[in-house]
Structure 1
Amino acid sequence: MTADLSIVVPTFNESANIEALIERVSIALEGLSWEMIVVDDDSPDGTADVAKAIARHDGRVRCIRRVNRRGLSGACVEGILSSSAPFVAVMDADLQHDETLLLPMYRSVRSGAADIAVGSRYSTGNAVATGFSSLRARISRCGTALAK
């Protein structure tokens, strides 16, 4: 079954959190077809081993172990490139991101109500970014056009 949503989770030393994160995401996305791609930067604490053990009995979970390659942005890009779903979310493994926001954010983008959804702990309720300079607005429109 093809996933509707891919969740990319870049990790480094998150072995204590990865199982709880997967359980929370599973509850939050009940009824939706999803996959989680754990992209681990060769954590010495065995994060990749924990993720791979979970993946052996949960086909929604995959793990990419990056040896001698580190960095958040590279891990995110690698996870996105290996995703199979038409929509992708990126979230931290440290349980600081609210997984219950994934479904409403996914629905907003899927329905076309939003081009992109970004979670922020500094914003309450539904907020739309405003106050862009004209240059920033043009750059944003160009980026959206390129993405389409």
Structure 2
Amino acid sequence: MQLSLKLSALFVTLIGVVTAAPHPEYVVSDAEMNHWLSTTDAELTYVGKPYHPLSPREAQNTRVVYCNTRNFNVCGGSCTVYNGGATCLSAPGTQCLFATQNVGFCDRGGCGGSCNQFSSCGTRLDNGFCWTPGTASITVGPN
């Protein structure tokens, strides 16, 4: 009986710990990104590591989609999909982006110049995208 009560208490505690970590509202989940990737008519180019959702190390990666066209509140055109760790992505002509973690977007190459964060996006678009006109590079930080 005592073992049963202790296991029940442990289970309730674990549920509380798992649900206590909120998902930041500005990032998209892997499920949301997968849905967008499978339903978009944008031209997609994949760079970085292949995405393997069952890999235990996949949670350490950040996925970023950045595109060259904004039509009303829709991001599309030619889009690049990055999956990987910390890096500086060359992204001239980027008009909009979204990501599974917070990233920075800069108006100069090499992740220099004036930079802003995805988390403080000024103009949100459909499907979790952020309007980022003038972006030339994207900085992906470590997770």
TM-score of the two chains, using structure 2 as the length reference: 0.24
Relative contact order (C-alpha < 8 Å, sep 6+): which is higher? Answer: 1
The structure with the largest helix share of the pair is: 1
Higher Rg of the two aligned structures = 2
The structure with the largest strand share of the pair is: 2
